């Protein structure tokens, strides 16, 4: 049973991350897929180049020039920063991006306001299944091919959205969002279970941030796509099935992505 684990950018700074991923792989070899973010790294490079990062509802506004920055940072620096120590620990990790083999295709959200930021529209999981069958751990950067482009243009996809689409297409048993907090917090306490009604209440009360809102929305898309178990937690959740906040569905949530060859 496949488990998809999305590692947030800030969670990647934890010294225990690589040992925890290595342990999870050794426990269930051939059944783990990692997809990562890296927003802070992208923001740092944008600012170093004199750009002013902008976000709408937790998603990055992406210009044509920003795509090169995202490719360099996410598919290059961040991806290999995860892959290299895993390989050094004896884990057969392979770094790919959503652009490779047409793994992730996306449609622009709103070109006028979001630029080249998209949402997943199709997932072709043949490459991921091939890697898993060969005994490799896929480590995936969430860049996607522009489904409307004939020349190989890319779109920036929020890592949470990409993880939800990938988990649904793979028929994963669990989607686990690893964040730098132990779960969804309400007055400092972890909410053990969260349905759509309470999610909306937390958003209305501004209890959750834009980044967490994106995770909650992606969680419900994954549930609507058939993923039976979705959690938001910190690194401890890799080894403990009871950690974090479990997201449960109480209503049907539309989702735009479809899968091929799942």
Could you tell me the domains of the chain? Answer: 3-260 (3.40.1160.10)
Burial of 261 (C-beta count, 10 Å sphere; 0-12/13-18/19+): exposed
User: Among 98, 176, 93, which Cα is nearest to 135's?
Assistant: 93
Q: How confident is the model at residue 211 (pLDDT cuts 50, 70, 90)?
A: confident
- Tell me the average pLDDT of the chain: 91
206 pLDDT exceeds 70?
Answer: yes
Q: What is the average per-residue pLDDT within 191-214?
A: 86
154 pLDDT exceeds 70?
Answer: yes
Q: What three-state secondary structure class fits 207?
A: coil
Q: How confident is the model at residue 35 (pLDDT cuts 50, 70, 90)?
A: very high
More confident call, 151 vs 2: 2
202 pLDDT exceeds 70?
Answer: yes
Q: What angle do CA 20, 99, 172 make, to 5 degrees?
A: 45
Torsions phi, psi for 150 (to 5 deg): -100, 0
pLDDT value of position 257: 46
More confident call, 39 vs 250: 39
pLDDT value of position 253: 43
Q: What is the average per-residue pLDDT within 172-188?
A: 94
More confident call, 165 vs 256: 165
Rg (CA), the chain: 17
pLDDT value of position 249: 79
pLDDT value of position 207: 87
pLDDT value of position 260: 47
DSSP structure string for 60-125 = E-B-HHHHHHHIIIIIIIIHHHHHHHHHHTT--EEEEETTGGG-EEEEES-HHHHBSEEEEEEEET
252 pLDDT exceeds 80?
Answer: no
Q: CB 19: neighbour CB atoms within 10 A?
A: 15
Prediction pTM value: 0.92
pLDDT value of position 141: 97
pLDDT value of position 179: 93
136 pLDDT exceeds 50?
Answer: yes
H helix intervals, the chain = 17-27, 39-48, 64-70, 79-88, 111-114, 126-133, 159-170, 196-204, 210-224
Q: What is the average per-residue pLDDT within 125-149?
A: 97
Q: What is the average per-residue pLDDT within 123-152?
A: 96
pLDDT value of position 256: 46
Q: Hunting for tokens 């689409």 — which residue is that?
A: 165
Lowest mean pLDDT of 14-18, 98-102, 256-260, name the range. Answer: 256-260
């Amino acid at each position: 049973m496949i488990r998809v684990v999305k590692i947030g950018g800030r969670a990647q700074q934890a010294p225990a991350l690589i040992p925890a991923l290595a342990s999870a792989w050794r426990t269930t070899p051939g059944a783990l897929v990692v997809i990562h973010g890296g927003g802070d790294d992208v923001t740092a490079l944008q600012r170093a180049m004199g750009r002013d990062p902008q976000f709408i509802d937790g998603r990055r506004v992406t210009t044509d020039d920003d795509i090169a920055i995202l490719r360099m940072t996410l598919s290059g620096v961040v991806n290999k920063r995860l892959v290299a120590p895993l390989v050094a620990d004896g884990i057969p990790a392979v770094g790919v991006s959503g652009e490779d083999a047409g793994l992730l295709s996306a449609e622009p959200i709103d070109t006028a306001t979001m630029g080249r930021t998209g949402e997943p529209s199709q997932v072709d999981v043949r490459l991921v299944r091939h890697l898993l069958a060969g005994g490799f751990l896929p480590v995936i950067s969430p860049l996607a091919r522009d489904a409307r482009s004939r020349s190989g243009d890319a779109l920036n996809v929020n890592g949470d959205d990409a993880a939800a689409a990938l988990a649904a297409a793979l028929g994963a048993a669990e989607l686990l969002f690893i964040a730098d907090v132990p779960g969804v917090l309400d007055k400092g306490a972890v909410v053990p279970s969260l349905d759509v009604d309470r999610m909306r209440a937390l958003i209305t009360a501004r209890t959750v941030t834009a980044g967490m809102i994106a995770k909650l929305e992606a969680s419900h898309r994954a549930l609507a796509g058939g993923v039976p178990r979705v959690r938001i937690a910190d690194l401890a959740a890799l080894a403990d099935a009871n950690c974090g906040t479990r997201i449960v569905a109480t209503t049907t949530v539309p989702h735009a992505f479809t899968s091929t060859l799942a």
